[in-house]
Amino acid sequence: MKLRSRVPELVAATARETRSALEYYRERIRVLNPRLNAFITPVDPQAHPATGAPGTRRLAGLPIAHKDLFVTRGIPTTCGSRMLAGFVPPYDACVVERLDLAGCTLIGKTNMDEFAMGSSNETSAFGPVRNPWNLERVPGGSSGGSAAAVAAGLVPVATGTDTGGSIRQPAALCGITGIKPSYGRVSRFGMIAFASSMDQAGVLARSAEDAAWVLREMAGHDPRDSTSVGLPVPDYVAALTRGVRGLRIGIVQNFFDEGLWPAVADRIREALSVLEAAGAQLIDITLPHLSLSVPVYYVLAPAECSSNLARYDGIRYGHRARDPVDLTDLYCRSRSEGFGAEVQRRILIGTYVLSHGYYDAYYLKAQRVRRLIRNDFLKAFESVDLLAGPTTPTPAFRLGEKTADPLTMYLNDIYTIGVNLAGLPALSVPAGLVEGLPVGLQLIGRDFDEETLFAAAADFQGRTDWHRAEPPGFEEGSG
Amino acid sequence: MSWETVIGLEVHVQLLTESKIFSATPTRYGASPNTQAGLIDLGYPGVLPVLNRRAVELAVRFGLAIGATVSRRSVFARKNYFYPDLPKGYQISQYDQPIVQGGALEIPLPEGIVKRVGITRAHLEEDAGKSVHDRFPEASGIDLNRAGTPLLEIVSEPDLRSPTQAVAYLKALHTLVRYLAISDGNLQEGSFRCDANLSVRPTGETRLGIRSEIKNLNSFRFVEQALRYEADRQVQLLEAGGQVVQETRLYDPDRRETRPLRSKEEAHDYRYFPDPDLLPLVLEETFIDEVRSALPELPTAKRERFQSAYGLGAYDAAVLTQSRDLADYYESAHRAGAPDSKLLANWILGEVLAKLNRDHLEIDQVPVPASMLALLLVRIADGTLSGPLAKTVFETLWAGEGSVDEIIDARGLRQVSDTGALEQVIEDTIAAHATQWTEYCAGRDKLLGFFVGQVMQATQGRANPQTLNALIQKRRERSG
Amino acid sequence: MLSAEEVKRLSVLARLEVRPEDQDRLVRELDRILGFVRQLEAAPTGEIEPLVHPLDLIQPLRDDEVREPVDREAIQKAAPDVAEGYYRVPRVIE
């Protein structure tokens, strides 16, 4: 067993030596997790046996961690919130079921920003996660626990969700590969909702190859999710060898704005030249309405979340205030005690933009701009096959650096949010280090064209070593 | 000053589906608390709604039946508010793009007038659960079995002008939804619930007055009482120089009054927005055509047909067609050979309904099959049974004791039309009541009934009344 | 400028309790966020159709079948206060 084993190697190794991969990673979690706080609940491998028909078994024995937003039968599921501390669901998310059937073994539920609202993992009720590249830095969020765990080699692959960049941004800041598939590609059943029209499950892994192996099992139509599409799932693993030769890649000029650190811009330009050298054609593209992504998002995501989180009322499950004097007291105290400050802010913003007299000016207006943004992307894809740019404007920032000002935190997702508004697939691959911290190259694809993303990312990773870089202190044999 | 009452009604009809509108749990009434509330009904984290095709079909069926526009595209929205019986903190409903728009219901009013009441819209939504207040000290219990049951909310135009008209509308709507088999219409079980908007204005005024909304109208009787009370209250208020406040009021059937809802609710702000978990409902023409081709004959058409095809009066036809089952019973008996369509109507409207009522049965539980009723009427027509005897036979049939002919034979009920046998009984009767006979012969015609009665008694009612009458009169002529 | 009264109204609608010592900070934060998103006002959208779902798909329909078994006991394990099968809450006043 080697730390840098690829997913197919791990599966093959497990077939030879039963449970060796599991023991290897469980030991690393035991020793290394205390530095990172990447897990909310470590899971005993026997605790969550797969039920139902035997599945593909293509990932037999592969240890996996799920973001603690995927509901897991019999295993605590907190969504990073005090509201759900101690909540043990009697059902599994579709993603969990499918990966069980593929043969994965769940070894832990990862830490995350509370209800996926955050970009630094600092809103978790279970304490912040630390970036393995620098323990004083954030791992990004909201899938920060999954990103840190994979980057530090505590687990080979982990699931995440991405509503405004919550897979790609932490993947970039932790130096790993993260893919957010097309909206509708992966079932949202059992994925605790934040903003339903943007939430999408994906994978955090060391490489595009590993991510392809996992996404292939997660994706596909689920009749329990009305927004999941009936399209057949392409063989993402087969797409890995297609290469970028002949692809037209649009460089999103808007991303190279004044907020982007010059050193990050340099890494991204170097990465793009690698793709060019591999035979891709680079074309400058401007998306005229993209600059409005962040304000659109901070109308729509809070609007949806204010409604999605109304179910947490202390009656059927979840935190309940002690000795409520009346019904209003039960509601208000249960919710204010159960939710953290960021979640409450977003609920209030969402309540405001949907309320009488403001709906048209905020919610409806934002949905109109949302269409303009999607139309920009569709127009761009008439002339290019992929879009590219940085995943984040800066490398990982310090813990506490942006917590004082919510708005500064929001602007961290400036390059990732547009993709969620448009529903497109996108991934982030490591593109080098800035001041010893990883930065990510973001690739954006057409609707349901994850294959081209995998092809380009795998080709890039065949020509670069950034995805093999290991955070100091977490190398093989660390502990 | 004279006042005009303006009423619009909102009726919530539970649709007849096996499973909930957005989940696969049962809709059965009366189950033990929370045994029919699944993860989706309870709003567990991460679960999602998927729309029930049958609920959509039933809504479309209603739309077609009232001549409405069935929206080719409608949208589900979230209505956000907190209430313990509303598990998600929002109700999935339809807001600005409902599935049914426009249409009308024709309601019969006294003196044969038919009024056309506009339907503004009908939309699909999920029902909430129930709170029980008498189970625990100082606490309420929440039963979410009903949560997610499909509802069609049918909103009328403010076209109704009196509580009587409102009740007529509700009855017509009630008949229609049961005809269409979209709801069992059970008022006690809450399958058919009504809220009313009522305002008053000086006669001749065209603008609407300020209205109040009255909830908790769970029987037709309460609707009428509550609306009368509320109209009087508003008129008195206005005549005393006051103003009506736009508010929601609850009807208290015990005190027979409406009062404002007590909860210190902040002004409602439901923050409707399209439900991101559900996509637009788009109906293909083929879907609508299939529903249309399966539409049953509607009450109005059936009533008219009963008048023209069976020669029934307007009243009889209206009552017989009030429910599809009753109309079917009539037509089955007719097909089975009941000889006289008016006599058949009289029997059903008289004997059958009276006994159903007496035994608290519905027409689909009637113990006398239509074919048996038909045979009974045949036996009247062929002279085997007299009317009174037929009623005795019917009573026995109702009790489930044999067929028509078996009962007639077993109990010797066959009518006596044999002149010789009857003449003997008449002679015996005259002998026993000589004084009366003398008076009768002297011209006290009223005594005919007395003798008929005596003979009937002596024959246990089996004497053919026509024959008997003729014989007695003939006997007097001979005496005279 | 968002007022404290408005934040109060929002917190009532959202059933959140705002502690007095948090109120000023919260008003400032929300006002700043709303000020930021208000830049959308200037966007030239005209009457372009609002985009609710990223994909132009239509609602699938499921057959009317009872398929989800309800295990009340298992489900109510997660409930803070149940009695006789009911979820118990402070008295609901109508």
Q: Name the helix (H) or strand (E) containing A205.
A: strand A201-205
Q: At a CB cut-off of 8 Å and minimum separation 6, what does C14 contact?
A: A306, A310, A335, A347, A348, A351
Which of A340-349, B84-93, B461-470 is the least confident region?
B461-470
What stretch of H or E contains A129? none
C14 vs A306, A362, A424: nearest CB? A306
Percent of chain A residues topping a pLDDT of 90: 89
Provide the pLDDT for residue B158: 97
Q: What's B449's domain CATH number?
A: 1.10.10.410
Interface contacts A/B by beta carbons within 8 Å: 96
> Would you call A300 an interface residue with chain C, using a CB distance cutoff of 8 Å?
no
The pLDDT score that the predictor gives to residue B424 is 87
* pLDDT surpassing 60 at residue A389: yes
CA-nearest residue of chain A to C26?
A345
Percent of chain B scoring above 90 in pLDDT: 68
Q: In chain A, which residues have their Cβ closer than 8 Å to the Cβ of B88?
A: 310-311
Cis peptide preceding B403, ω within 30 of 0? no
Contact A347 C39 (CB under 8 A): no
Are B19 and B26 in contact by the 8 Å Cβ rule? The answer is yes
- Nearest-5° Cα angle at A367, A364 to A369: 110
Residues of chain A with pLDDT > 70: what percent?
A: 98
- The residues of A annotated with a catalytic role in the active site are 67, 142, 166
- Each residue's pLDDT expressed in tens, for chain C with a length of 94 residues: 899 999 999 999 999 999 999 999 999 999 999 999 999 999 999 989 999 999 989 999 999 999 999 999 999 999 999 999 999 999 987 6
Contact A8/C at CB under 8 A:
no
pLDDT of residue B267: 63
B83: closest CA of chain A, how far (Å): 9
**Could you report the per-residue pLDDT of B156-167, keeping only the tens digit for each?**
999 999 999 999
Containing A215, the helix (H) or strand (E) segment is helix A208-218
Q: Where are the domains of chain A?
A: 7-254+268-283+376-468
In degrees, rounded to 5, the angle at the alpha carbon of residue B226 between the alpha carbons of residues B220 and B232 is 140
User: Quick one: DSSP state of residue A137?
Assistant: B
The answer on B466 and B349 residing in a single domain is: no
pLDDT digits 0-9 by tens, A288-333: 999 999 999 999 999 999 999 999 999 999 999 999 999 999 999 9
Q: What's the Cα-to-Cα distance from B70 to each of B37, B53, B73, B99, B103, rounded to whole Å?
A: 31, 15, 9, 6, 10
* Residue in B44, B269, B276 nearest the CB of A196: B276
Q: Are B10 and B153 in contact (CB under 8 A)?
A: yes
* Residue B89 scores a pLDDT above 90: yes
List strand residue ranges (DSSP E) for A141-200, in order.
157-161, 177-180
Write out residues 42-71 of C within 8 Å (CB-CB) of B: 52-53, 57-70
pLDDT of residue B264: 47
CA–CA distance from A163 to each of A55, A199, A363, A465, B400 (Å)? 29, 4, 17, 29, 69
Residues A412, A415, A417: CA angle, nearest 5 degrees: 85
Here the ipTM equals 0.97
Helix, strand or coil for residue A387? Answer: strand
Are residues A348 and C11, on separate chains, in Cβ contact within 8 Å? yes
Name the pLDDT band for B238 (thresholds 50, 70, 90): very high
- Look up residue A199 and give its DSSP letter: -
Q: Which amino acid is at C94?
A: E
3-state secondary structure at position A204: strand
> Is there a domain that residue C8 lies in?
yes
- CA-CA distances (angstroms) from residue B303 to B201, B307, B318, C57? 36, 6, 6, 44
Same-domain check for residues B363 and B245: no
Strand spans (E) along C1-94:
61-62, 82-83, 86-90
pLDDT score recorded for residue A479:
57
Predicted confidence at residue A395, as pLDDT, reads 97
Secondary structure string (H, E, C) spanning chain B: CCEEEEEEEEEEEECCCCECCCCCCECCCCCCCCCCCCCCCCCCCCCCCCEEHHHHHHHHHHHHHCCCEECCEECEEEEECCCCCCCCCEEEEECCCCCEECCEEEEECHHHCEEEEEEEEEEEEECCCEEEEEEECCEEEEECCCCCCEEEEEEECCCECCHHHHHHHHHHHHHHHHHCCCCCCCCCCCCEEEEEEEEEEECCCCCCCCCEEEEEECCHHHHHHHHHHHHHHHHHHHHCCCCCCCCEEEEECCCCEEEECCCCCCCCCCCCEECCCCCCEECCHHHHHHHHHCCCCCHHHHHHHHHHHHCCCHHHHHHHCCCHHHHHHHHHHHHCCCCCHHHHHHHHHHHHHHHHHHCCCCHHHCCCCHHHHHHHHHHHHCCCCCHHHHHHHHHHHHCCCCCHHHHHHHCCCCCECCHHHHHHHHHHHHHHCHHHHHHHHCCCCCHHHHHHHHHHHHCCCCECHHHHHHHHHHHHHHHC
Q: Which domain covers residue B154, as residue numbers?
A: 3-290
Q: State the best of C70, C72, C82, C94 to mutate against chain B, taking most chain B CBs within 10 Å.
A: C70
Q: What is the DSSP letter of A301?
A: H
What whole-number distance in Å separates Cα of residue A237 and Cα of residue A241? 8
- Same domain, residue pair B405 and B390: yes
Domain boundary among B256, B290, B324: B290
Domain that holds residue C34: 4-42
Cβ contact B45–A193 (<8 Å)? yes
Domain count within chain B: 3
| B55, B57, B61, B63 alpha-carbon torsion, rounded to 10° | 70
Q: How confident is the model at residue A18 (pLDDT cuts 50, 70, 90)?
A: low
Q: Quick check: C90 and B139 CB within 8 A?
A: yes
pLDDT in tens, B294-350: 999 998 899 999 999 999 998 899 889 988 999 999 999 999 999 999 999 999 999
Q: Residue C62: helix, strand or coil by DSSP?
A: strand
**Choice between A51 and B103, residue whose per-residue pLDDT is larger:** B103
Q: From its phi and psi, is residue A426 left (phi > 0), alpha (psi between -120 and 50) or beta?
A: beta
Q: How far is C83 from chain A (nearest CA, A)?
A: 12
Look up residue C73 and give its amino acid.
E
Which helix H or strand E contains A390, and what residues bound it? Answer: strand A386-390
Mean pLDDT of chain B, nearest integer: 92
Do B345 and B434 lie in a common domain? Answer: no
> Hunting for tokens 């803070």 — which residue is that?
C80
* Residue where a domain terminates, one of B410, B428, B460: B410
Q: Do A299 and C40 touch (CB under 8 A)?
A: yes
Indicate the DSSP class of residue A223.
T
Range with the lowest mean pLDDT among B117-121, B147-151, B458-462? B458-462
| C67, part of any domain | no
| Full-model pTM | 0.90
How many other CB atoms are there within 10 angstroms of residue B13's CB atom?
Answer: 28
C80 falls within a domain: no
C91 touches chain B (CB under 8 A): yes
Residues B219 and B367 both lie in one domain: no
- Taking each helix axis from N to C end, the angle separating C20-37 and A293-308, rounded to the nearest 10 degrees, works out to 130
C15 vs A332: CB contact, 8 Å cut-off? yes
Q: Which two tokens stand for residue A343?
A: 């979640």
As given in the structure block, the two tokens for residue A477 are 């044999």
For the record, the structure tokens of A476 come out as 């093989």
Q: Which CATH superfamily is domain A7-254+268-283+376-468 in?
A: Amidase signature (AS) domain (3.90.1300.10)
For the record, the structure tokens of A338 come out as 């159960």
Query: Which of B248, B270, B290 marks a domain boundary?
Result: B290
Which residues are CB-neighbours of B158 under 8 A, at least 6 positions away?
Answer: B6, B7, B8, B197, B199, B208
Indicate the range of A209-223, A351-365, B103-117, B340-354 predicted with least confidence. B103-117
Contact status, residue A132 vs residue A143, Cβ threshold 8 Å = no
> Residues near B288 by Cβ (< 8 Å), separated by ≥ 6?
B60, B64, B70
Indicate the number of domains in chain C: 1
Residues B313, B253, single domain; the answer is no
Check CB contact under 8 Å for B51 and C59.
yes
Q: Are A3 and A475 in contact (CB under 8 A)?
A: yes
